[in-house]
Every structure is written in C-alpha cells, then in structure tokens.
C-alpha cells in the first residue's frame, strides 16, 4: 500500500493552490496550503511535513528563501519548486539550494505524479541516513530491511543449536559476520572461532591446513602441524568458500561431521574433535553436485540449517545506514570529521546495484573519505558507473546501463569499466569491486576473459 505523505502547498494563486491540492489528494496524500512564505513557515513550525511544493515567484519572500529554510531546519522534508518562469538558471539555483525537483508551468498530471514520487523518495533517503541504528541488529551487523530481519531470526535459531550451518550469498554480503554472530551468541562464545578461506589455500596444502600433518608426511613437512580443526576444538570453525575444497578434503570433512574425528596427513590414528562447523559459499552447491564437483552426502550434512544473506541491492535503505556507519568509521581512522554527502550523492549510491555488495560499499566509502574535497561528497566524486546507473545514461565505451537493463548486464558493464580503468589488472579490479579474484573470473563472460588477455591485461 502506498504511503500517505503530508504535503504543504505554497502559492500566492488561489487557483493554482486548488489545482495542486486536488491532484495531490488524488494521489492519496494529505495536503495543507499557504499563500506565502510567512504562512508556510507557520505551518512548518507547527507540524512535520514530508514534502513542500512551493511557487518560486511570490510577493514578499520568494520560494528560494523557503527552500533554504527547509534545507537548514527540516532536512527530512522534500521540496518541489514550481514556477512559470522556467529558466535553466532557476532550475540550477533551486537544486543547489536544496530543492529535490523542479516543475515548470504548465505541467501534466503525470509530470506532477513523477515529481512527487522522486521528491518523497529522496526525502525518505535523507531520513534513513539520519536515523539511528536499529537495536535488534546483532553483533555489529547493520540493517533493518525485511530480508535482514529474516537473517537475524535465523541467527538466533542457529546460535542455540549444535547443528552445522550453511550460509549462502554473493561475495561481499557479510557471510563471515553472520558466522561470527552465530558463534558469539551461542554456548561456544568463550571458545575459539577460526575462519578459513578455503579458496585461498593452495590445493596441495588444504588437507594439511585443515587436518594437520605429521613430521615427514611430505616434502617440506619438517615439523608437526595440528591443523585448523584441532585448533578450533571446543569452538567453531568457519569454512568460507567451502565449494573450493578438493574431493579428498571433502571426504575428510564428511568424516568429521559423521564421526567427530580428524586424521592428520601421514597419521594412521584419528583424533576426536568437538568443533561446530559453519560453512559458506557464493556458489550454487546443488548445481555443483549435479556437475560432480561437490559431494551430495556432504551437502546434506552441511545444509542442516541454511541461511541466505541477501545482496545489498535487495536491502533497500540499508544502503544508507551502512553508508553512514562506514563514513564515520573511515573518518575516525583518518582522524577527521565525517564528510557530508549531498542528496544527489546519496540517491546515486542508493540506486547503484552494488555487484561487490557491502565490501564494495565499504571500500568506496574509504576512498571517498580520503579524497573528500572541503568535507563534502557530491555525485562528481563517485565512481563514474555509479552516476550513469543513477541517471540511466550511457557508460564509457557506449551502452545504456540504466535500471531498465538486467542486473547481470549492469554488473558486467561495471566490471568491464573497472578493468579498463586499471589496465586489465584483475587483482586490482577485484580489490576495487570488493570481491576475490575467483569471483571476478566467474562473473566475467568467456569473451571478456579473451578480450582482457588480448588487450595485454595482467593479474
């Protein structure tokens, strides 16, 4: 159901006020009216409004003064400037002074409806940006969207259980945060929590790293190693990117889950361990089972309590909450005051699809804080693709990447733009996107990889 907003219409023409009031009420909103700025200020002092629709030219104080008052004293209120004296200069001045949109008389019902929607949406973003962090987000997690509330409920259920948990979600969504929340809210909180990125361990060493090895078990094994399972005894072992485990390591992990024992490389004696397994993946493990790269019996053992972490693009105004938190943290690390973001910059970041998710947002905010000019971040300071997606414009190299295109195409265009900016260096591109190199390779189409190679790209 559409939210009924409270709107203040300000115009010295009774006929214009009547037309605006009738059309805005037809959209389901509540409307108050004022014939000049002085009367409008009285209304604003007595009640909260979601939106002000004001004429530019009025006797006495003009609409620009009202725009500046709303900007300085009613940040959560949107403003639409309406005028019959349409000039480029007037539009620019109104937007610079804080108006959210600009309408030129005469305007159609559709134009008014679209302007109302955009202005109310921008005002809602500012309110979300200024809102306090909700109290029900566990262990430093940020977000109040319905998808995240579901994650919080599942964390609560998982923390009190002893069964394995499988966390799924795209790279950069915060799967390790979920795993830590499960551990530190449960009975094992005082015991070790160890995180292992299975994709980062060389295939030849993964068994030794996980299960340990005896001295002389292989060339280079000059001493004994206990392995992550033994080190996490009594606590929780978080296996990130579990789909990258070798077939032998998968078989040994299955034995741990079935029997509660591990066997070090080069040892004939199994060792009992009490370890809670929380695994994570950004891959479709059911598809991996179908193609034979992941054991079906292991998937059944791991997937007792599944938790899916939503991508940032599905989390609504959580983007704004995360943005605020990352701004303050980055500013604290730089020993400086947090820079301010213009409404347009906030709106652009809200609309961007974030292929690298929360990690990409945090990385971008850190760079923005370092390079913020005069303590203000505007759209011109944002990565180019963010501005193009926001406006539905053409990206460098051609091609519309606006919101009317499928997400995968927008994501691919962004990845290609980043690769081009770093000369094809996949390691740098992955760091900018906030994903690992394996995830970057999986997101690139075969022709993208071929093009990168022929263009002389490097790793």
Question: What are the structural domains of the chain?
Answer: 6-130 (3.40.50.2300), 146-308 (3.40.50.300), 313-454 (1.10.8.60)
Nearest C-alpha neighbor of 258 from the set 288, 295, 301: 301
> Environment class of residue 92 by beta-carbon count within 10 Å: exposed (0-12), middle (13-18) or buried (19+)?
exposed
Q: Taking each helix axis from N to C terminus, what angle separates 384-391 and 407-421, rounded to the nearest 10 degrees?
A: 150
> What angle do the packed helices 146-159 and 175-184 form, to 10 degrees?
40
Which residues, listed in sequence order, are joined to residue 280 by a DSSP beta bridge?
Answer: 167
**Backbone φ, ψ for residue 131 (5° rounding):** -70, 150
| CA separation for the pair 349, 101 (Å, rounded) | 18
Q: pTM of the full predicted structure?
A: 0.67
Residue 449 is predicted with a pLDDT of: 42
pLDDT (0 to 100) of residue 454: 33
Which letter does DSSP use for residue 374 in this model? Answer: T
The pLDDT of residue 400: 40
Q: Can you give the pLDDT at residue 87?
A: 58
pLDDT of residue 123: 84
Which token pair is 452? 């990168």
Q: What is the structure's pLDDT at 444?
A: 74
Alpha carbon distance 415, 448 (integer Å): 10
What is the chain's alpha carbon radius of gyration, rounded to the nearest angstrom?
27
Contacts 24+ apart (CB under 8 A), 405-414: 407/313, 407/353, 410/353, 410/355, 411/353, 411/355, 411/443, 412/443, 412/444, 412/445, 412/448, 413/385, 414/353, 414/355, 414/385, 414/389
Question: Which spans in 260-371 are helix H?
Answer: 285-290, 296-302, 318-333, 343-351, 357-371
Determine the pLDDT at residue 370.
Answer: 87
Residue ranges, the chain, pLDDT below 70? 1-3, 85-94, 96, 130-136, 216-217, 219-223, 388-410, 445-459
């Amino acid at each position: 159901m559409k939210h009924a907003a409270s709107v203040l219409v300000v115009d010295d023409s009774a006929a214009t006020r009547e037309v605006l009031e009738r059309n805005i009420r037809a959209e389901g909103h509540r409307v108050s009216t004022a014939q000049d700025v002085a009367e409008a200020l009285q209304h604003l002092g007595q009640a909260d409004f979601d939106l002000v629709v004001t004429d530019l030219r009025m006797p006495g104080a003009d609409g620009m003064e009202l725009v500046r008052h709303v900007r300085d004293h009613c940040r959560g209120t949107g403003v639409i400037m309406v005028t019959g004296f349409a000039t480029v200069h007037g539009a620019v001045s109104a937007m610079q002074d804080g108006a959210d949109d600009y309408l030129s008389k005469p305007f159609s019902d559709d134009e008014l409806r679209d302007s109302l929607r955009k202005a109310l949406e921008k005002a809602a973003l500012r309110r979300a940006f200024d809102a306090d962090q909700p109290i029900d987000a566990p262990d430093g997690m940020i977000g109040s969207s319905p998808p995240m509330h579901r994650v919080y409920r599942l964390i609560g259920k998982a923390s009190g259980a002893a069964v394995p948990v499988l966390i799924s979600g795209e790279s950069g969504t915060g799967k390790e945060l979920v795993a830590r929340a499960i551990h530190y809210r449960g009975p094992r909180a005082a015991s070790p929590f160890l995180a292992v990125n299975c994709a980062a361990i060389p295939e030849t060493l993964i068994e030794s790293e996980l299960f340990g090895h005896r001295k002389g078990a292989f060339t280079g094994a000059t001493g004994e190693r206990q392995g992550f399972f033994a080190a996490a005894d009594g606590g929780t072992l978080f296996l990130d990117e579990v789909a990258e485990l070798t077939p032998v390591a998968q078989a040994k992990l299955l034995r741990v889950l079935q029997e509660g024992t591990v066997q070090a490389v080069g040892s004939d004696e199994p060792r009992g361990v009490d370890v809670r397994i929380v695994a994570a993946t950004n891959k479709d493990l059911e598809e991996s089972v179908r193609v034979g790269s992941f054991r079906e019996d292991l998937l059944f053992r791991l997937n007792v309590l599944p938790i899916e972490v939503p991508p940032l693009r599905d989390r609504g105004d959580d983007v704004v909450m995360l943005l605020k938190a990352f701004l303050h943290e980055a500013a604290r690390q730089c020993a400086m005051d947090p820079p301010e973001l213009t409404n347009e910059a906030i709106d652009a970041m809200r609309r961007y699809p974030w292929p690298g998710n929360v990690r990409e947002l945090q990385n971008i905010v850190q760079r923005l804080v370092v390079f913020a000019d005069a303590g203000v971040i505007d759209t011109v300071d944002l990565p180019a693709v963010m501005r193009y997606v926001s406006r539905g414009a053409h990206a460098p190299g051609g091609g519309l990447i606006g919101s009317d295109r499928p997400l995968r195409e927008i994501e691919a265009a962004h990845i290609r733009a980043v690769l081009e900016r770093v000369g094809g260096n996949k390691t740098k591109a992955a760091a900018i996107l906030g994903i690992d190199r394996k995830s970057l390779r999986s997101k690139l189409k075969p022709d993208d990889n071929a093009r990168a190679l022929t263009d002389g790209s490097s790793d």
